[in-house]
Amino acid sequence: MSKTPIIQAKNISKTFGATKALRGVSFDFYEGEIFSIVGANGAGKSTFIKILCGYYSDYEGEIYIDGELVKFESPRDAYDAGIQVVHQDIEQGIVQNMSIGENLALDMVLSPEAPIVYDKKKILQRAKEIAKKMNLEHLDMEQNIKEVPQSEKQMIIIARALAKKPKLLILDEPTSSISNREAAMLFKTLFRLKEEGVSILYVSHYLTEVKEISDRVGVIRDGQNGGILHKPLQVPLIVKAMVGDIQKEISVHRENIQKQEVLLKVRDLLVEGSKEFINLTIFKGEIVGLLGLVGAGKSEFAEALFGIRECIGGEIEINGKKVEINSIKEAIKNGIHLVPENRSVNAIIPEESIKTNITLPFLDFFSKFGFILKKKEIKYTQKMIEDMGIKCEGYDAYIESLSGGNQQKVVVARWLLMKHNLAILDEPFQGVDIKSRRDISVYLREKTKESAVLMISSDIDELMDVADRIAVMNRGKIIYQEKSSNVDRDMLLNLMSQED
């Protein structure tokens, strides 16, 4: 690592209306270094990144590249200066109506120097070269990217960013939608780039990752510098720098759940696209964690329970009564609510307020004679904002004004707002810091008495921290169930990844 920073951000400040998102934040970036930035949801990390990559040009402070003062008026300016960014929102990084190959070779497709006649052969050749560096040769370069799973979209965006050796590579929550194997491959690539002299800015809420790969860690706390941590890094010290002291334990996992009544019983459920039967029982008052790698079939199971995906066979019972769920409307009628995996595509209602995003599915409850009862709607929204610890200017703030983690809290709040039987939370902690994760978990623990929760995740530690019982899904089948207090982390990892 060189002793002279290649990029310097000095006294960066940014205001949104009455909110001061950043107040004098300064960081230096060096060649051949992995520098991570951490902070609680709403601390200002995303705002800082957007300033670095030219998204916001109306900020206070200075940015220097190789000692020269620069001012980015657009993302293109930052790109031309050698700053590449992979945003947390995957959909922002792809062109929906293009193929995988065109998305990989997007520079060639959009280049002003591109020939007037579309040269498909050259574009596919360039795409294959880019794919090879990230072991993505197995992908069909001519397939429409809309048909690709989120995890592969993420790898495609990262591969494209790495294709043109950047001066500064910014990765915002890059492992939130990829498997452990893909994450290991990504880290291997980052270490190679580091050796080649690339400066890497890594942003993640997975603090174990941050500890393992970072040379230094910068903290943003309430929009200000919260300090710099150096190797050897320790997760407890990172957490303390981010948010101060937090409650260490949510509560003791309840051991008497099995004595209570059955809320959900799934018998030999065969989900469209799978060849395996699913059997699962969830008791009233219980939080069950469904653990599995990306592609294990967890989300497909959730979609079947919520009426999005067809059930080819089997039975679903709620409170001892057999039910048929063939639509979202029927799922909600039977008290099943789903927080989907992909927040930006399947959950957020853009250009609408927090209030609208929380209450929209339940407008019948908030209306009378065809008129919205605004005071009632505001009252319920305000309570969820307070209970979930959503950091915002107010209930009428636009959803896009929130950080990714606070947007996630809004989505979770929506489906916990009304009385329900089963709340299914599919990867509810994506982009959520450790303190916010505790806020959501404490709320679930306090409110899950007459209902139940099915929490779906590929993160072992998240589920061990929250769930009463953990079930492991592998290739569409639940292969193991046990109380959280009795499970072993290494054994769970082995069950998730076993191939036979």
DSSP β-bridge partners for residue 93? none
**Is the Cβ–Cβ distance between 306 and 328 less than 8 Å?**
yes
pLDDT tens per residue, range 278-287: 999 999 999 9
Does residue 258 surpass a pLDDT of 60? Answer: no
Question: Please, what is the Cα angle at 71 between 67 and 74, to 5 degrees?
Answer: 135
The structure tokens 């060096």 sit at 30
pLDDT tens per residue, range 466-489: 899 999 998 888 999 999 888 888
The whole-number pLDDT of residue 114 equals: 63
Q: What is the residue type of 345?
A: V
Axis-axis angle for helices 150-163, 120-133 (nearest 10): 100
Does residue 257 surpass a pLDDT of 50? Answer: yes
- Cα gap 430→75, rounded to integer Å: 25
- Cα gap 495→196, rounded to integer Å: 37
**Is the Cβ–Cβ distance between 457 and 440 less than 8 Å?**
no
Q: Which of the residue ranges 238-242, 372-376, 381-385, 398-402 would you say has the lowest mean pLDDT?
A: 238-242
- Cα gap 256→244, rounded to integer Å: 34
Determine the average pLDDT of the residues in 97-109: 86
Burial of residue 350 (CB within 10 Å: 0-12, 13-18, 19+) is: exposed
Contacts within 8 Å (CB) and 24+ apart, 12-17: 12/48, 12/51, 12/59, 12/60, 12/61, 12/63, 13/59, 13/60, 13/61, 14/44, 14/47, 14/51, 14/56, 14/58, 14/59, 14/60, 16/401, 17/393
- Cα gap 110→255, rounded to integer Å: 59
Nearest Cα neighbor of 3 from 34, 38, 32, 36 is: 32
The whole-number pLDDT of residue 134 equals: 77
**Is the Cβ–Cβ distance between 471 and 480 less than 8 Å?**
yes
Does residue 360 surpass a pLDDT of 80? Answer: yes
**Is the Cβ–Cβ distance between 300 and 274 less than 8 Å?**
yes
The whole-number pLDDT of residue 392 equals: 86
The two structure tokens encoding residue 407:
């947007």
**Is the Cβ–Cβ distance between 340 and 426 less than 8 Å?**
yes
pLDDT tens per residue, range 221-235: 888 898 999 989 888
Confidence of residue 252 (pLDDT cuts 50, 70, 90): very low
Give the three-class secondary structure for 50: helix
pLDDT tens per residue, range 307-351: 998 888 899 999 999 999 999 999 999 999 998 876 666 678 888
- Cα gap 331→334, rounded to integer Å: 5
Candidate CATH numbers 3.40.50.300, 3.40.50.720, 3.30.70.141, 2.40.10.10; the one for domain 7-243: 3.40.50.300
DSSP β-bridge partners for residue 315? 267
Helix (H) or strand (E) holding 25: strand 19-29
Determine the average pLDDT of the residues in 299-305: 91
The two structure tokens encoding residue 138:
């197995």
pLDDT tens per residue, range 9-45: 999 999 877 678 899 999 999 999 999 998 877 788 8
Q: Start-end ranges of CATH 3.40.50.300 in the chain?
A: 7-243, 257-497
- Percent of residues, the chain, with pLDDT higher than 70: 92
- Cα gap 55→472, rounded to integer Å: 41
Question: CB-side exposure of 496: number of CA atoms within 13 Å?
Answer: 22
Axis-axis angle for helices 434-447, 404-416 (nearest 10): 10
DSSP state of 96: T
- Percent of residues, the chain, with pLDDT higher than 90: 35
**Is the Cβ–Cβ distance between 290 and 300 less than 8 Å?**
no
Average pLDDT of the residues of the chain:
85
DSSP state of 353: B
Rounded to the nearest angstrom, the gap between the alpha carbon of residue 130 and the centroid of all alpha carbons in its chain is 25
pLDDT tens per residue, range 412-447: 888 888 889 999 998 888 767 777 777 788 888 887
Of 206 and 379, the one with more pLDDT: 379
Strand locations in 430-468 (E) = 452-457
- Cα gap 402→390, rounded to integer Å: 9
Nearest Cα neighbor of 157 from 87, 244, 235, 54 is: 87
Burial of residue 4 (CB within 10 Å: 0-12, 13-18, 19+) is: exposed
- Cα gap 402→410, rounded to integer Å: 10
> What CATH number labels 257-497?
3.40.50.300
pLDDT tens per residue, range 34-76: 999 988 777 888 889 999 999 999 999 999 999 999 999 998 8
DSSP state of 401: G
Contacts within 8 Å (CB) and 24+ apart, 322-325: none
